[in-house]
Amino acid sequence: MTSPHHATPDDVTPGDATPDNAAPATDWWRDAVIYQVYPRSFADANGDGMGDLAGVRSRLPYLRDLGVDAVWLSPFYASPQADAGYDVADYRAIDPMFGTLPDAEAVIREAHRLDLRIIVDLVPNHCSDQHEWFRRALAEGPGSTTRERFHFRKGRGENGEEPPNDWESLFGGPAWTRVPDGEWYLHLFAPEQPDFNWDHPAVQDEFRSILRFWLDLGVDGFRVDVAHGLVKAPGLPDMGRGEQLKLLGNQVLPFFDQDGVHEIYRSWRTVLDEYSPSLRPGVPPGSRIAVAEAWTPSADRTALYLRPDELHQAFNFHYLDTGWDAAALREAIDSSLDAMRPVAAPTTWVLSNHDVVRHRTRLGGGPDRARAATLLMLALPGSAYLYQGEELGLPEVTDLPDEVRQDPSFFRDAGQEGLRDGCRVPLPWSGDAPPYGFGDGGSWLPQPDDWAGLTVEAQTGDPASTLELYRTALTLRRTHPGLGAGESVEWLDAPDGVLAFRRPGGLICTVNTTEAPACLPTPGRMLLASRQLSAPQGDFELPADTTVWWEE
């Protein structure tokens, strides 16, 4: 019998092309599937071994055909690349390794021609130590007005030889670096990334101007890096001291999730709304959005960033951090939906990104479990984020030699694990050996020798491939009335270790998170399964690590 992997929209007749639950054009972000492109690892057009904007542009038809709604581009701004572009020297210029400003404009235009939207990364918590402001601050010395735009402080100790407080960098070591004149500056990440002082009006004015610069070029939104970190507790107290400190996990962090960030985002929303909907020729109508990367203690705290006069979406890290366990997943799904409902924001779902171990490796269980997790995620109400290469079933590359690694936290003691390079290895497009069609000049991180079967070329047309599963799932998600936008799911009775829920519009999703088959009644007509299955009748066995979509 034909596998559900063979299914096309005509085969499954999922419903009208514009389902009743589809978000209107102005609210496109409420059910969008957004694909993250990490430009240096996506496609290399000039053969220097580094991905670039021209490479992104050349592959936009692939993303259109994959079935995504928008493309989020990780930073491509002018930068010394101390932290892969998250150390920005000029927010209005393109780093030469990626191309030019006209190249960026060409990507935006081509995306819009293909009915794709473009979201660009914005890095407001910190800049590069090569940013004009910071260089001036160093040159002008203590007491200068430019230094007030950052967090410069005198040190502690008899001669100021100790850092101003006990904060530690997320990359390891102190969060302070001393300059030759004796003062110290704050950097929550690498020393090359000084934090802005968001209490200063010039910082706030500058970033509103940056928003307008990119909106004028036609971008559809912004992903806000470290959105929870802009405001620090008054007085920059030591860890564990002060009434305004916020508990994040088991750590008290006076530099994260401070209430003052919300006034900043209210001012940004005013700017975004000026451009929504766009009447500019060539720019699609609809809201211009901002998406928060906000690590908070709970989904309820995340929801505060998404009140109607603030940002539009936030990454659901609570879901990303949930293991492959039915009870834990159900709790994460319910708490996420419950938190977003009062602020009328869509819940987002994400499994992988440029900072975490790819979910095929992180969840264990190999490709079957990864594909089951994907179909579960895409069945949930709201918006979904995909990370480049997950549609190919790429695993984390865990055996990169130390000498090729470039993650700055890898080179610092007591910091993050420093293994983010493993999810940033360039994509395999075609061929039997590295660089697999990535470009003509090799790749900036080495690709495994056994990826020939994972290329786009190898998987295209193979009904059992992960790529074709994603293509079919995204087509169904766009067209079936039981998928996409929504606020809740109806849980159905299921054996231990199995999730079963109904969506309005006639869709049921069943997920077996166990390592053994589970016996279930057939709830309807099989639309799609995460592995090849014959269409059952009556009771059937749902294999381990398998998700099935059913039409009632």
Catalytic residue among 83, 103, 225, 293: 225
Q: Which two tokens stand for residue 209?
A: 């101007």
Are the C-beta atoms of residues 134 and 194 closer than 8 Å to each other?
yes
Catalytic residue among 20, 274, 309, 321: 274
516-519-524 Cα angle (round to 5): 125
Q: Considering only CA atoms, which of 287, 311, 391, 394 is closest in space to residue 25? A: 287
Q: How far apart are the first and last CA of the chain?
A: 20
515 a catalytic residue: no
Report the C-alpha gap between 187 and 255 in whole angstroms: 11
* Residue carrying structure tokens 């007591």: 414
H helix or E strand, kind and range, residue 368:
helix 366-379
Q: Which two tokens stand for residue 537?
A: 């009748």
CA atoms within 13 A on the CB side of 8: 3
- CA 16 to each of CA 55, 165, 477, 504: distance values in angstroms, whole numbers, following the listed order: 35, 60, 12, 15
342-250-225 Cα angle (round to 5): 60
291-353-473 Cα angle (round to 5): 90
552 a catalytic residue: no
Partnered with residue 152 across adjacent β-strands are: 185
- Kindly report whether the peptide bond that precedes residue 142 is cis, defined as omega within 30 degrees of 0: no
Bridging pattern class, strands 518-521 and 507-512: unpaired
Report the C-alpha gap between 549 and 324 in whole angstroms: 18
Report the C-alpha gap between 146 and 162 in whole angstroms: 23
DSSP annotation string for 125-139: SB--TTSHHHHHHHH
- CA 260 to each of CA 30, 230, 256, 314: distance values in angstroms, whole numbers, following the listed order: 26, 9, 10, 17
Q: At 17, which amino acid appears?
A: A
Q: Which two tokens stand for residue 527?
A: 């639309």
> Three-state SS for 441?
coil
* Residue carrying structure tokens 């030759």: 180
Bridging pattern class, strands 490-491 and 77-78: unpaired
How many whole angstroms from its chain centre is CA 314? 9
HEC string of 390-413 equals: HHHCCCCCCCCCHHHCCCHHHHCC
Question: Catalytic positions, please?
Answer: 225, 274
